[in-house]
Amino acid sequence: MSTPEKATPSHFIRQIIQKDLSEGKNSGQVATRFPPEPNGYLHIGHAKSICLNFGLATEFDGTCNLRFDDTNPEKESEEYINAIKADVEWLGFEWNDDIRYASNYFSKIHEYAVQLIEQGQAYVESLSVDEIREYRGTLTEPGKDSPYRNRSVEENIDLFQRMKAGEFDEGTLVLRAKIDMSSGNINMRDPVIYRIRKVEHHQTGNEWCIYPMYDFTHCISDAIEGITHSVCTLEFEAHRPLYDWVLDSLGTPSHPQQIEFARLNLNYTITSKRKLKQLVDEGVVSGWDDPRMPTVAGLRRRGYSPGSIRNFCEMIGVTKSDGVVDMGMLEFSIRDDLDKSAPRAMCVLRPLKVVIENMEEGAKETLSMSAHPKDESMGSREIHFTREIYIDRDDFAEVPPPKYKRLIEGGEVRLRGCYVIKCQEIIKDADGNIIELRCTRDIDTLGKKPEGRKVKGVVHWVSAETCVDAEIRMYDRLFTAENPDSNKDGRTLLDVINPESLTVFHNCKAESGLVGAVVGKPYQFEREGYFVLDSDAHKSKNLVFNRTVTLRDSWTKIAPK
């Protein structure tokens, strides 16, 4: 019997689109877009938007554009553009036709601004930024008209042309839409739609010295591209009346429908590009792709798979109400994915030398171990057993705690996939530090239980002769506070940085097969977690692995209250 396909959970945006299609709206077409500002790297919240917009287009046989809303050249760069393109591709999505930029439409947007002036629906403002803010009013008090609000169309056209020609300094004049200074929605109180910025643009060079504001640009860009469903996060809900006002006033050929959904809020995480940039600029992390960062680049470098992120975004769903998602759900998604796909390997983080006394010098046995205990199709791997091996220092105790099930002097332990060994002697240096264990193996325990006794402990190990050196980077959550951005008791982000978010082990010993590891291919290091070769490993003489996630969720046991 065939397994039924997993049903795709419904949500309100799917229902809106299904209803539109059933009613024949937009000629039965679905066109979405993902419109990032290229002023930073994408984070896990953007991943949710990417999966939603591209996923809807795929589900309803439509299209999804990748468009950069590049209206603020001071904070934008080609580095961010290239990083965003790489992230979208890595997540497994293809955008419709060529990449688009809002700057592609600057000439048309300028024409629309002139149209508003000619219609008496926009004017050039001479108030300062502070004065504009003062005149705008508050959430409880209406604004008041600017003394320049009733300039003639001719004067406004003249001033706007001279703004475009570069006659005025930054901050001296802006263009405002003329709507309603008494509106209960502060976004409708004559918003600024153009400002002077004498900055070179990464796409248009020095062609322009005036740039449209995001709210004016975004809706026009959507209309030009024929977007049917303009899906955005909930903070833009109050901007929707302005979105509709601009398009209605201009009479654009199409009028997309803006739909808002709740953004992704993840505990122990921040998703503000400005604050993430602060962490980069102040050297708290090594860069935008630091594996502790919630950026898509950081998650990729840490070892998260595209499928795990897509599954996570589907699992948390799409709603209209804000909430906080537990980081454990994201970690569950990657564990679930890697448990199925990651081949097993052994790596000793804190090596302790063990000499097998009843094995001849130079002897080497080749053992076969499964690459994955639940997936025979992955085949097997060869492991070498030699007279000298390494076990983890934590797997031996001279004075064992209660219920200790690993190696002790005079005690036995099973080597993973190998023999049972017994510790006969402890070797110490002049300072009393344990530097070596002398053990014997039970030759009759390879692949079978010892007779007459029960050995409970199983430890991982590697051959001292054939192992390879490795550096292991153990990552944990970047913040100790569940809501690091709360400013509770006056604390800042830097006050809640987790001092144990990165622990580096330098002299690790890994099984020889890991020499063939490639960036992006996951491994489960038995008893330690899931790991991936670091993308910058080529800069080191040794292998460098990043821990993606632990084998089990241990954070809830140690999380600060």
Instruction: State pLDDT tens for residues 372-418.
Output: 999 999 999 999 999 999 999 999 999 999 999 999 999 999 999 99
- Residues sharing a CB contact under 8 Å with residue 230, sequence separation 6 or more, in sequence order: 32, 33, 219, 222, 243, 256, 257, 258, 259
Which of 171, 180, 191, 157 lies closest to 126 in space, CA to CA? 171
Let me know whether 494 and 402 are in one domain: no
Residue 353 covered by a domain = yes
Which listed residue (75, 136, 164, 263) is catalytic?
263
Let me know whether 124 and 210 are in one domain: yes
Strands, DSSP E only, in 313-377? Answer: 344-345, 347-348, 351-356, 364-370
Domain-ending residue, one of 261, 282, 306? 261
- Which DSSP string corresponds to 173-202? -EEEE---TT-SSGGGSS-EEEEE----BT
Let me know whether 136 and 241 are in one domain: yes
Let me know whether 531 and 391 are in one domain: no
Let me know whether 509 and 377 are in one domain: no
Residue 115 covered by a domain = yes
Residue 6 falls in the annotated catalytic set: no
Residue 267 covered by a domain = no
For residue 473, the surrounding DSSP H or E stretch is strand 468-475
Domain-ending residue, one of 439, 459, 479? 459
293 touches 284 (CB < 8 A) = no
Residue 273 falls in the annotated catalytic set: yes
Let me know whether 188 and 310 are in one domain: no
Let me know whether 501 and 453 are in one domain: no
Low-confidence residues in the chain, pLDDT < 70:
1-9, 554-561
Let me know whether 334 and 357 are in one domain: no
Let me know whether 227 and 143 are in one domain: yes
The bridge status of strand 257-261 relative to strand 229-233 is parallel
Please state the φ and ψ torsions of residue 421, each to the nearest 5 degrees: -120, 155
Which listed residue (14, 25, 37, 155) is catalytic?
37
The total domain count for the chain is 3
CA distance 112 to 251: 10
CATH of residue 308's domain is 1.10.1160.10
pTM for the structure as a whole: 0.92
Reduce the DSSP state of residue 344 to 3 states and report it.
Answer: strand
- Encoded amino acid at 76, one letter: E
Let me know whether 40 and 164 are in one domain: yes
Residue 218 covered by a domain = yes
pLDDT at 311: 96
CATH of residue 387's domain is 2.40.240.10
**Max Cα-Cα span within the chain:** 103
- Residues sharing a CB contact under 8 Å with residue 473, sequence separation 6 or more, in sequence order: 291, 502, 503, 504, 505, 534, 544, 545, 546, 547
CA distance 341 to 446: 28
Domain-ending residue, one of 231, 261, 291? 261
Q: In whole angstroms, what separates CA 381 from the centre of its chain?
A: 33
Residue 277 covered by a domain = yes
Let me know whether 133 and 164 are in one domain: yes
Residue 465 covered by a domain = no
Which of 550, 152, 510 lies closest to 334 in space, CA to CA? 550
Which of 26, 53, 57 lies closest to 256 in space, CA to CA? 26
Let me know whether 371 and 520 are in one domain: no
Residue 2 covered by a domain = no
CATH of residue 37's domain is 3.40.50.620
Residue 57 covered by a domain = yes
Phi/psi zone of residue 303: left (φ > 0), alpha (ψ -120 to 50 degrees), beta? left
Query: Cα dihedral sign for 83, 86, 90, 94?
Result: positive
Q: Show the CA angle centred on residue 416, arms to residues 414 and 422, nearest 5°.
A: 25
Which listed residue (48, 100, 178, 273) is catalytic?
273
CA distance 314 to 291: 23
Tokens of 211: 């740039």
pLDDT at 553: 75
Domain that holds residue 449: 347-459
Residue 237 falls in the annotated catalytic set: no
Reduce the DSSP state of residue 123 to 3 states and report it.
Answer: strand
- Encoded amino acid at 224, one letter: I
